[in-house]
Amino acid sequence: MVENIQRVAQEIEAAQLSNAAELEQFRITYIGRKGQLAALFDNLKEVAPEQRREVGQQLNQLKNRAQERFDQAQEQLANSTESNTDTGFDFTLPTIPNTLGTRHPLSLVRREIVRIFERIGFNVAEGPEMEDDFHNFTALNFPENHPAREMQDTFFLSEDKNRLLRTHTSNVQVRLMENNQPPLRSIMPGRVYRNEAISARAHMVFHQVEGLYVNKGVSFKDLKETLYYFAKELFGQDTKVRFRPSFFPFTEPSAEIDISCLICKGEGCNICKQTGWVEIGGSGMVDPAVLESCGIDPKVYSGFAFGMGIERITMLKYQIKDLRLFTENDVRFLRQFEGVI
């Protein structure tokens, strides 16, 4: 037993403790719970009773010495680390200026659209992107055999087709009318999903902004004046607006919204297919059946609604010819909008 104590004492004194790895190995080998000192204390019971006290004192001294060596080495190592000022960095190098990012063009246009409508009393309403059949189709007067209800047009999340990714932000209009009483005046910007092939003119994920105004005595004239104001504020006071008769399940009467081509100023070019006009969205008076399905009496209230793609508006405003640029995150493209406020 005494020989073992002497051997361990020599090893403790000879141990190299110049770095953190050696220090940790020393702790594990000698003063850890499973180290050699712990083993020596366990073997103390095998020593003869008359020698046990003396051997025990030697063991305690050895334990204290091992702990002392460990503490001293640990302190020296900490001090040497703190005093080492060589970080490997040259502080004489010139500073690198902070570089600011920029808003995405879609975010820029969305913000501008929101500001325009806020000035005439519209607030912003939002709703879920995962929707049920009622809020996305049924409440909006879509017949059961409408093509939009097919898998070729819509991403369904369940086999019974009751859960889907919304195909428009009209679901927010339905929820707004369900939970609030007129007057209602809101726009609904947001991301929508349709099962379409990705190309320069189409994408499976894109953004819409829709608008809804419901009150007593709302007429088609109110719709036209609202959209005249919007188009001139967004595209310029020289912009012309026209309405073409159309059909949507949720509005009656309905109309497509066209503006004069921003490229040729109405003269005719490849962008507008020589017509001088570019379509930006659809609109119409809210169908009485939609008001009734949302709990609003169509005999008392009327309203108008409109919708347009934010990508389409952004492409027109900044003359972008490929819709895929919005989702490719090409820094060369995005940096072109650094100066836009």
pLDDT digits (tens, 9 = 90+) for 206-247: 999 999 999 999 999 999 999 999 999 999 999 999 999 999
Q: What is the pLDDT of residue 82?
A: 58
SS3 for 266?
A: coil
207, 292 Cβ separation under 8 angstroms: no
In this prediction, residues 93-101 reach a mean pLDDT of 78
CB hemisphere CA count around 311 (13 angstroms): 18
Q: What is the pLDDT of residue 326?
A: 94
Which of 77 and 180 is assigned the larger pLDDT? Answer: 180
In this prediction, residues 98-124 reach a mean pLDDT of 92
Q: What is the pLDDT of residue 214?
A: 97
Q: What is the pLDDT of residue 327?
A: 92
Query: 287-290 — which CB contacts under 8 Å span 24+ positions?
Result: 287/141, 287/249, 287/250, 287/251, 287/252, 288/252, 289/141, 290/139, 290/140, 290/141, 290/174, 290/250
Is the model's pLDDT at 21 over the cut of 90? Answer: no
Is the model's pLDDT at 144 over the cut of 90? Answer: no
Distance of alpha carbon 250 from alpha carbon 141, whole angstroms:
6
Q: Using the CB atoms, write b or e for 230-253: b if 16+ within 10 Å.
A: bbbbbbeeebbbebeeeebbbbee
Is the model's pLDDT at 86 over the cut of 70? Answer: no
54 among annotated binding-site residues:
no
Distance of alpha carbon 282 from alpha carbon 256, whole angstroms:
4
Q: What is the pLDDT of residue 41?
A: 77
Q: What is the pLDDT of residue 30?
A: 80
Distance of alpha carbon 212 from alpha carbon 187, whole angstroms:
6
At 170, the pLDDT band (50, 70, 90 cuts) reads very high
pTM of the model: 0.69
Is the model's pLDDT at 250 over the cut of 80? Answer: yes
272, 278 Cβ separation under 8 angstroms: yes
For residue 125, give the nearest of 193, 180, 194 by alpha carbon: 180
For residue 191, give the nearest of 311, 274, 296 by alpha carbon: 311
Q: What is the pLDDT of residue 139?
A: 94
Q: What is the pLDDT of residue 85?
A: 53
CA–CA distances in Å: residue 263 to residues 80, 155, 175, 260, 277: 70, 35, 39, 9, 10
Taken as a whole, the chain contains a residue count of 341
Q: What is the pLDDT of residue 341?
A: 62
Q: What is the pLDDT of residue 261?
A: 86
Is the model's pLDDT at 138 over the cut of 90? Answer: yes
The proportion of the chain whose per-residue pLDDT surpasses 90, expressed as a percent, equals 51
Is the model's pLDDT at 131 over the cut of 90? Answer: yes
Mean residue pLDDT of the chain comes to 88
Q: What is the pLDDT of residue 155?
A: 93
Question: Cα Rg for the chain, rounded, in angstroms?
Answer: 38
Is the model's pLDDT at 84 over the cut of 60? Answer: no
Is the model's pLDDT at 306 over the cut of 90? Answer: yes
